[in-house]
Amino acid sequence: MREVTIPISDDVIRSLKVGEPVALTGVMITGRDAVHKWMIETFIKKTRQPQGDDLEVYEAIRPILQGGVIYHCGPVVSGLDTKQYKFVAAGPTTSIREEPYQADVMQHFNAKGVIGKGGMGPKTLKGCQEVPFVYFHAIGGAATYIAQSVEKVLGVYKYDFGVPEAMWVIQVKNFPVVVTMDAHGNSQHALVEEDSKKVLESLLSQPY
């Protein structure tokens, strides 16, 4: 398993290939639907004016995302009352919901990795080549195991979005993932979809 440290350089990103297992170490940030929508509307397309702590949060997350990683994750977190936060479960959530936003977010913040499950579509794959960045597939159904890779919760932003949708800044060590979309236009998910389509067409063409 290849060890990769966050922040990640463009050279390292371009050296990663589909199918390669990776252990990530460093600081990453979680972000799901609410976060991506907020980023796009407030700072990229600017269809809404910054409100409340928006600008403060933006300035705080920019250096984290520079060369950084966004994890599609709605964690289970203990210590909410005392603010002694600890990830109890940290499994990946389905990534395709962020397909309209992901490439633009990665480009804007110069982020280098996305972690999730299920893969993403052609717009994100094109962004992987242009930014560049890669998509890391995390193990579905292993939320407790993955949480063991989270050494420390460093902070949280946009807590008003709710615990699963907030941006949790976490320090991880040997976080296990597999590259399934790389910076060279390769997507394991697209291959699986294509093969599945062929099998389905074959089954449908058979006489009953």
Question: Kind and range of the H or E element at 21?
Answer: strand 21-30
CA distance 190 to 184: 14
Locate 20 and state its tokens: 């390669």
Residues 36, 72, 137, 189: which is the catalytic one?
36
- Would residue 36 show up in a list of annotated catalytic residues for this protein? yes
Q: At a CB cut-off of 8 Å and minimum separation 6, what does 187 contact? A: 18, 119, 125, 135, 180, 181
Locate 73 and state its tokens: 């994750």
Locate 37 and state its tokens: 């929508």
CB 22 within 8 A of CB 181: no
How far CA 72 is from CA of 119, 145, 155, in Å, comes to 11, 16, 17
Which residues are part of the catalytic machinery? 36
